[in-house]
Amino acid sequence: MGGINPKRKNHTLLLDAIKKLHNQGYKFHVFIVGDGSLKHIDNDVKQHLTLLGHLNYDKMYDAVESAHFFLPLLDDKNPEHDRYIKTQVTGSAQLIYGFRKIPVIHKKFAKFYKFDDKNAVIYDDLASGMEKAILTTSKDYDKYIKHLDKTANDIKQESLNNLKDILNA
């Protein structure tokens, strides 16, 4: 989500990871929702990408629904991205929980969003995280989804309890 925009996502990390996985012979595809251009991207990498452009919500939700994993692409080395664990919440988390899509997320950001190794693919290096996602068996995928669903429901219940407390104060 968010197109190819370095202020919002680090697509260089993604492109480097794709190149590495391509060179290792993996078969996979990444869909990017948002604007940008693939002109400057190497053909080996480009074959693994589809830029969907700006989509209305219905079409974006369809794209998320058809995905197996979600790549928030938050960059642990970019101080601008610290806001996603200090002062803002990434909309990616809302989509991940709403659609129960397993995130492939850097360890720096995982805990803040209640992601762990049971409900997400946590990485220190994006290529290794994507590789783990690619190699996930259907049995393990189902386990991730089960735990992600539980976490999402726990968050929902916590929010409802907080609202009740506020209304009853």
Instruction: List, in order, residues 6 or more apart from 146 with CB less than 8 Å away.
Output: none
Instruction: List, in order, residues 6 or more apart from 147 with CB less than 8 Å away.
Output: 118, 119
Query: How does strand 49-53 pair with strand 30-33?
Result: parallel
pTM for the model: 0.90
- What is the full per-residue pLDDT of the chain (169 aa) written as tens digits? 455 555 556 678 899 999 999 999 999 999 999 888 888 889 999 999 999 999 999 999 999 999 999 999 999 999 999 999 999 999 999 999 999 999 999 999 999 999 999 999 999 999 999 999 999 999 999 999 999 999 999 999 999 999 999 999 8
CA 112 to chain centre: 14
Distances in Å between the Cα of 100 and the Cα atoms of 35, 95, 133, 144 are: 25, 8, 15, 9
What is the C-alpha to C-alpha distance for residues 154 and 113, in angstroms, rounded to an integer?
Answer: 12
What is the C-alpha to C-alpha distance for residues 110 and 70, in angstroms, rounded to an integer?
Answer: 13
* Cβ atoms 74, 115 nearer than 8 A: no
CATH topology of domain 11-167: Rossmann fold (3.40.50)
Q: Domain segments of the chain: what residues?
A: 11-167
